[in-house]
């Protein structure tokens, strides 16, 4: 089931009549059978988008298509979606079995079949031995699985996950995101999930959409988005430790930081002042590079983070631990083609 959003817009009006455009003119196509992450800082409209797809929020403008069906005006229960809420919204007074069976009670199927489906789903998410417990007796990860099972049991066309991992601890998060990916692969259901955690989004999504203030910034595969950010926002948002942003210039096709550090070459760009983005891991040792003082260093296992100043700006470089051992200064340069050049005015990348 392919999902198309066409110029989807949501405007919230508060009591004083002030308007907030939570989602602004969003046009994206979510390919069938893929796991797509909506990513952005809090308040960027990603949950609003999800709830509009679910039908819980009415769009102020634009259209939503599931395949060829226009579902913009359709009630949530008629859309054939499964939604997993951030806090799971499991009914606390029902057992796990009753929780998973709840969506089936509203369908026209027999009790035996429903019971069978519940067990089948519980097996899929790995909670078949917890069926007679109440949600409060389960751990966060198990509750999460119950919520997914409940969303999937009625065989929805689309699965929507709202910040599915934010209530779990770090270890469980890792485990659950693999689990979600597995379940998605096994069922082949088109899945959209919302997160503010870039690592989470990058690790499980087939495609990623980055939103900021309700406006789509970029949609691409996680790795290509990381390697080729379309603008300054995406570049800054992705990556941990974050990308170094430093003011630089292009003179005669040379990309320069300050007056004497050349980091790259750009033949086809106009001379002028630009913002340069260099990821910490894109520095390398180079006898011909610029001198870097190694006073300020953090050893983090395999890698070493060096903080060094260029002019007023502190940059971070992530390098191999072995090579900096006991050296006072080292020479660094930037890997070929890894300098991102952004226009100063618009923040767009210059190719």
Partner 1 sequence: MNDFKHKLKNFLWNVRNTIHVSSVRTSEFFQKHHLGFITRWPGWLKAIFYLLPALTLLAIFTFYPIFNSFLISFYTGYNIQTGEFDGYTFLGNYAVVLQHANFKQAVLNTAIIVFVSVPITIIVGLLIAVALNAIKPLKSFYQTIFFLPYVTNTIAIGLVFAFIFSGNQNTIINPVGLGLANQVISWFGGEPIAWVAAGATYWSAMSVILVYSVWNGLAFKIIVFLAGIQGIDKQYYQSAQIDGASRAKSFTRITVPLISPMIFYILITSVIGSFKTYSSVVAIINKEGLITTGAEGSINLKTIVFYIYDYIGGASLNGVMSYASAAAIILFAIILVFTVIQLQVGKRRVHY
Judged by the rule CB under 8 A, the positions of this chain that interact with partner 1 are 54-56, 75-77, 81-83, 85, 87, 89, 91-94, 102-103, 105-107, 150, 154
At its nearest, how many Å lie between partner 1 and the CB of residue 90?
A: 9
Smaller CB distance to partner 1: residue 65 or 102?
102
What is the distance, to the nearest Å, from the Cα of residue 297 to the centroid of all Cα atoms in its chain?
30
Nearest Cα to Cα of residue 215 among 53, 30, 10, 78 = 10
Cα–Cα distance, 39 to 196 (Å, whole number)? 5
What is the distance, to the nearest Å, from the Cα of residue 57 to the centroid of all Cα atoms in its chain?
22
At its nearest, how many Å lie between partner 1 and the CB of residue 145?
A: 16
Supply φ then ψ for residue 307, to 5 degrees.
-105, 125
- Residue 346 is classified by DSSP as T
Smaller CB distance to partner 1: residue 54 or 64?
54
Smaller CB distance to partner 1: residue 56 or 273?
56
Angle between helices 96-105 and 140-152 (to 10 degrees): 20
At its nearest, how many Å lie between partner 1 and the CB of residue 136?
A: 10
Smaller CB distance to partner 1: residue 109 or 314?
109
Cα–Cα distance, 284 to 204 (Å, whole number)? 29
Q: Exposure of 173 by Cβ count < 10 A (0-12 exposed, 13-18 middle, 19+ buried)?
A: buried
At its nearest, how many Å lie between partner 1 and the CB of residue 108?
A: 11
Smaller CB distance to partner 1: residue 167 or 262?
167
At its nearest, how many Å lie between partner 1 and the CB of residue 148?
A: 13
């Amino acid at each position: 089931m392919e999902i198309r959003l066409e110029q989807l817009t949501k405007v919230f009006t508060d009591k004083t009549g002030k308007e907030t455009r939570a989602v602004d003119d969003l046009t994206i196509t979510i390919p069938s059978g893929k796991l797509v992450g909506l990513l952005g800082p809090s308040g960027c409209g990603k949950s609003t988008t999800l709830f509009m797809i679910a039908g819980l929020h009415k769009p102020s403008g634009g259209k939503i298509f599931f395949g060829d069906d226009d579902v913009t005006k359709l009630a949530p229960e008629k859309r054939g979606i499964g939604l997993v809420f951030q806090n799971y919204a499991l009914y606390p007074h029902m057992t796990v079995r009753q929780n998973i069976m709840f969506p089936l009670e509203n369908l026209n199927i027999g009790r035996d079949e429903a019971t069978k489906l519940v067990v089948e789903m519980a097996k899929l998410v790995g909670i078949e031995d917890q069926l007679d417990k109440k949600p409060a007796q389960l751990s966060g990860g198990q509750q999460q699985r119950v919520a997914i099972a409940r969303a999937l049991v009625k065989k929805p066309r689309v699965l929507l996950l709202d910040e599915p991992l934010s209530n779990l601890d770090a270890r469980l998060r890792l485990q659950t995101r693999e689990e979600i990916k597995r379940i998605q692969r096994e069922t082949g259901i088109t899945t959209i999930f919302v997160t503010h955690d870039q690592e989470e989004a990058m690790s499980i999504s087939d495609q990623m959409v980055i939103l900021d203030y309700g406006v789509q910034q970029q949609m691409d595969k996680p790795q290509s988005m990381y390697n080729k950010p379309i603008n300054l926002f995406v570049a800054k948002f992705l990556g941990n430790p974050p990308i170094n942003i430093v003011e630089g210039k292009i003179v005669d096709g040379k990309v320069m930081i300050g007056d004497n550090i050349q980091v790259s070459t750009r033949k086809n760009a106009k001379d002028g002042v630009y913002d340069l983005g260099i990821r910490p891991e894109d520095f390398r040792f180079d006898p011909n590079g610029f001198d870097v003082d190694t006073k300020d260093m953090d050893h983090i296992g395999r890698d070493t983070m060096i903080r060094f100043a260029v002019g007023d700006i502190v940059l971070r470089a992530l390098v191999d631990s072995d090579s900096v051992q006991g050296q006072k200064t080292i020479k660094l340069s930037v890997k070929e083609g890894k300098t991102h050049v952004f226009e100063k005015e618009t923040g767009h990348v210059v190719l």
